[in-house]
Amino acid sequence: MKLEIQSFADIGDISKERIVLRALDDINIGDYVILRSKRSNDGGPLSGAKSAYWFPDVVVKTGDLIVLYTKTGNAGKKALSRDRTAHFYYWRMKETLWGEDNENIAVVLESKSWESKSPVS
């Protein structure tokens, strides 16, 4: 995995709640998806219907930060020190996702290959 969850910030505050990820290599973040899952008794994810965030096709460099806010907003980026960049994305949710009850967890998946189809043609 070349993308890691670094931290959660301002959990429970919809205006600030976010997940901060860090690129461990030069990658296209469009190959990654974040899933929100319920936490099982052993701390892992449980199956069931939960929300997902698919990143757009954007190449980021090693050490870049990817900040995913829960709220609505417009994607952007900001130069950081040491030739790093922070990339900002928005899940567009109306309520917080992570809460203080530790009921939900974030799962990062690398998904270079996938298929979708609508039941309506």
Q: Looking at mean pLDDT, say which of 21-30, 50-59, 108-117 comes out highest.
A: 21-30
The structural domain count of the chain equals 1
Spatial contact of 65 and 82, defined as CB atoms under 8 Å apart = no
Instruction: Using CB atoms within 10 Å of the CB of residue 69, give its burial: 0 to 12 exposed, 13 to 18 middle, 19+ buried.
Output: buried
46 vs 10, more confident:
10
pLDDT at 116: 74
Q: Residue 12: which CATH number?
A: 2.60.40.1260
CB count in 10 Å sphere of residue 97: 22
- Give residues with Cβ within 8 angstroms of 2, minimum separation 6: 23, 24, 25, 27, 110
Bridge partners (DSSP) of residue 103 are none
Indicate the pTM of the whole model.
0.87
Residue 117 lies in a domain: no
Q: Which domain holds residue 94?
A: 3-110
Bridge partners (DSSP) of residue 33 are 54, 109
**What mean pLDDT comes out for the span 11-39?**
93
pLDDT tens digits along 35-83: 888 776 777 666 666 789 999 999 999 999 999 999 999 999 999 988 9
Give the chain's mean pLDDT: 89
